[in-house]
Structure 1
């Protein structure tokens, strides 16, 4: 008995109006000799996109086109998506599945379903494709009006569009820069630079009416280990620091683990390590740097700085040690005009000693300080023409000597989120 081969699946994402449906119709019209199944997700009760795809491609809804309506497949419709794709594989024979996600879907959770659920037995991910409206992207990140747009999330709440655009690009194996005729060459170059900085290893295709080569669109591009820009900056910084220690003979071990010497600035006067401000090599016209302190930041001060970053900072992300909440690790995420701080749970150093030891044995890659454990402020900033010295100095003004010196300002329950900056609702 032969084992049935898995079916490749391409996940097609992008913001509302970016050109996903046009791209899908182009694919179905030109996919001669390929039997392609399509699943279309729409947030409304009536799946308009499914009807448009069926009409353009002469495939019937319920036949060649499967619809999931009135919800988002990255969250509340995940069970429905799993059931639909498994049933498709059972009932039909086809060469490739294309899932068109709604304009508010995040690609990551959709992709994970094909890896971790029972659908994984029948499908392999070929690639995550994000269609970008070049005009909208330029207005949001590349020098236009960053506050003009917001997106409605799956639960009906208004969400900054910049967040969604960044998440969709950072997950992509292939980015289709669509509507290039609506931007100047200079604007298009800016969009390309930002996309490349957010997802350095993604393939980029430029087009005007979602006309993309079929082989390119359906190619086997999926790489779950490809780094996003901010993580690549951290890895570059870590590699450079390790190389510097080896060259100067500074690396040594404490309790069997490497102790990190942090260089770049003078001691902060509170008995903490020196800071690391590491600069990634300029790539695609965008620079990045890493700011690190083995010390907490004053909560009011960090809110004033991280909640009001200059427009030159396109993306920043990282971990923050917040004064007044010594045991809680916070995650910071900024995309364009929006910025959030989220309580992620306790620092490992705040756990009982036996739990610390167990965790460290299971995670030997963790950077551990003799005095502070894993507690740190470590932020990556990506942008164009950032005044790094000014930003570092602004953050340094709020470095504390003792996390308990100030009152608790932010919620500490895991998952609790605080908006430090939000764009105004646009049209």
Structure 2
């Protein structure tokens, strides 16, 4: 790129709470000279198009439509967003373009698209806006997005709760918007829950004038992705504040697949949010991810444990993954371990501890060794591909 070619800083602001999101964007437009906002409204997808709008602090600067791509509104957003940002960059005169995401659009996918384009676009920030009073209602909402009119594609099977959880946990900035006139304004417990769910994120109160600086501070897409990967995720730490607790459970013994499967319903409902990685005795080479919100649990394979890889393959593994593995390394099992976190108001720590420990191999089962473990009932074949 020519050094004289104009560069355009780009920041993402998302979140299910539309009023909070707009308040955060409006503050940026008011306080950052030369800032502009780009928004794609997916609510008209039933009509076969996504509506695009561009505005600055003075009001609307233009609008248009982008046709759906294979019936997918979110795909249309991806296809239209970068060309529009490049057009704004070429026009010059703009210091910062804020991409205001539609309600259920998650920031990680959009950040990757912008970062992949490179110059003249420079991704400098990603934020999710939320009124803390809505954290519990959103995390408790197990409705499918399609049921509440927020699906981004015909095949969208996400729920309100799991979408909201990922929106919270990806960005490095949480834009806090409080409605003090509400009948149920945020209390200390709401703030404690939000803080425990977003370790490492900076909370910025909308109204204090700091949003612009926070979104221009810089953003590392690879580091953000690593923080989300089950093998090296930045998980919440042990906390207990204002009736909200985070319980961190770590063990270096595998789960009995049958006993864990029988306990899944109780475990998935035990907390507003639970995350982590785990080890099944009959699938000793596979790192499994745990992702639960709104009473629904998603269990998926997330690649091999590093201990299952030949030494030569380690050089191809990201540094963040190797560092995370070294912290959990066991002389016999390598990085195979249990690392689950549960965050919720009114959390029953003792009950969780007893239930989780009861799902591990007993001393006799553990002593039988890996060959015997592989012969245990493959209870998770109902959720995962059958063991080969």
TM value normalised by structure 2: 0.74
The 3-state SS of whatever aligns with 2:109 is helix
For residues 353 and 25 of structure 1, the distance between their equivalents in structure 2, rounded to whole angstroms, comes to 52
Tell me how far 1:55 sits from its aligned partner.
12
1:50 maps to what in 2? 53
1:305 maps to what in 2? 263
1:2-401 pair list within 5 angstroms: 3-4=4-5, 6-15=7-16, 17-21=18-22, 24=25, 28=29, 30=30, 34-43=33-42, 44=45, 45-47=48-50, 50=53, 57-61=59-63, 70=68, 77-115=77-115, 117-118=116-117, 120-134=118-132, 136-141=134-139, 146-147=140-141, 149-152=143-146, 153-156=151-154, 157-172=156-171, 173-185=173-185, 187-200=186-199, 201-205=201-205, 212=207, 215-217=210-212, 219=214, 220-222=216-218, 224=220, 231=233, 280-282=238-240, 286-309=244-267, 313-352=271-310, 354-355=312-313, 363=322, 366-367=325-326, 368-400=329-361, 401=366
The 3-state SS of whatever aligns with 2:63 is coil
Tell me how far 1:97 sits from its aligned partner.
0.4
Contact 1:314 1:383 in 2 (8 A): yes
Worse-matched range after superposition: 129-138 or 291-300: 129-138
RMSD: 3.9
For residues 92 and 3 of structure 1, the distance between their equivalents in structure 2, rounded to whole angstroms, comes to 11
Shift of the 130–95 alpha-carbon distance from structure 1 to 2, 3 Å rule, reads same
For residues 318 and 168 of structure 2, the distance between their equivalents in structure 1, rounded to whole angstroms, comes to 33
Tell me how far 1:340 sits from its aligned partner.
0.8
The 3-state SS of whatever aligns with 2:123 is strand
Larger radius of gyration: 1
Matched, 1:408 2:383: no
The 3-state SS of whatever aligns with 2:336 is coil
Q: Higher helix proportion, which one?
A: 2
**Which consecutive unaligned segments of at least 5 residues does structure 2 have?**
367-371
For residues 105 and 358 of structure 2, the distance between their equivalents in structure 1, rounded to whole angstroms, comes to 39
For residues 76 and 372 of structure 1, the distance between their equivalents in structure 2, rounded to whole angstroms, comes to 46
Tell me how far 1:50 sits from its aligned partner.
3.0
The 3-state SS of whatever aligns with 2:53 is helix
Tell me how far 1:221 sits from its aligned partner.
4.2
The aligned length equals: 352
Shift of the 299–195 alpha-carbon distance from structure 1 to 2, 3 Å rule, reads same
For residues 382 and 355 of structure 1, the distance between their equivalents in structure 2, rounded to whole angstroms, comes to 35
Shift of the 176–150 alpha-carbon distance from structure 1 to 2, 3 Å rule, reads farther
Tell me how far 1:287 sits from its aligned partner.
3.0
